[in-house]
Amino acid sequence: MKERTIWEQIADSFRSRSIWMLHYCTGCGAMELPPTMTARFDMERFGIAPMATPRQADILLITGYLNTKTLRRVIYTYEQMADPKYVIGFGSCTINGGIYFDSYSTINRLDYYIPVDVYIAGCMPRPEAILEAFNYLMEKIRKGEADGWKRYRENYDWYKQNQIRSLGEVYVHDEFHE
């Protein structure tokens, strides 16, 4: 890993304290976010805030299983986010497909297609686990270890190849987009 300049170190420490997330609610994990956000656990105290668009967001929160159709959108959304960007895989579905491991339409592991910085295991993980994961991610960012976005840029061909292998093409032109 390259040595960070002083500016990058400062920037990273800012980034770690201000995490704007785009929660891509693909599955049941979305249910766990309201308690995390509201009074009981209050993730805003860590500077974590929900954002509405990928352009503004820092982290992409994938909350559950991803089928091929959704994955295309996730990849597209991820590519629309501004660097530096981080991904949290949420629940076992993103890790190994979970209970959908043998589905013909659901992928098995997310990091094969986009770089994941932190996984949260569990089906479902509780809010405590989520906050723990956020804290871990913040630590990683501060240290400059959360470099998924760099990996994606460096190994872009590899990721693209995986995407194409599983999805055929990322961009699909169907009748609903005419």
The strands making up 48-50's β-sheet, listed across from edge to edge, are: 48-50, 19-24, 59-63, 86-90, 118-120
Alpha carbon distance 174, 52 (integer Å): 26
Report which secondary-structure segment, H or E, holds 61: strand 59-63
Binding window for another protein (CB under 8 A); candidates: 27-35, 123-131, 132-140, 162-170? 162-170
Q: Which of 31, 73, 123, 161 binds another protein (CB under 8 A)?
A: 73
Helix extents (H) in 112-154: 127-143, 148-154
Binding status of residue 166 toward another protein by CB under 8 A: yes
Site string for another protein, 97-126 (x = CB under 8 A): x---xxxxxxxxx--x--------------
Site string for another protein, 15-34 (x = CB under 8 A): x-xx-x---x----------
Smallest distance, another protein to C-beta of residue 168, A: 3
Alpha carbon distance 176, 155 (integer Å): 32
Listed residue (59, 110, 107) closest to 89, CA to CA: 110
Can you name the residues that pair with 8 across neighbouring β-strands?
A: none
Length of the chain (residues): 178
Binding window for another protein (CB under 8 A); candidates: 11-19, 27-35, 120-128, 129-137? 11-19
Q: Which of 9, 28, 47, 160 binds another protein (CB under 8 A)?
A: 47
Other CB atoms within 10 A of residue 30 CB: 16
- Interacting residues with another protein (CB under 8 A): 11, 14-15, 17-18, 20, 24, 38-39, 42, 44-47, 50-56, 58, 68-69, 72-74, 76-77, 80-84, 95-97, 101-109, 112, 162, 165-169, 171-175, 177-178
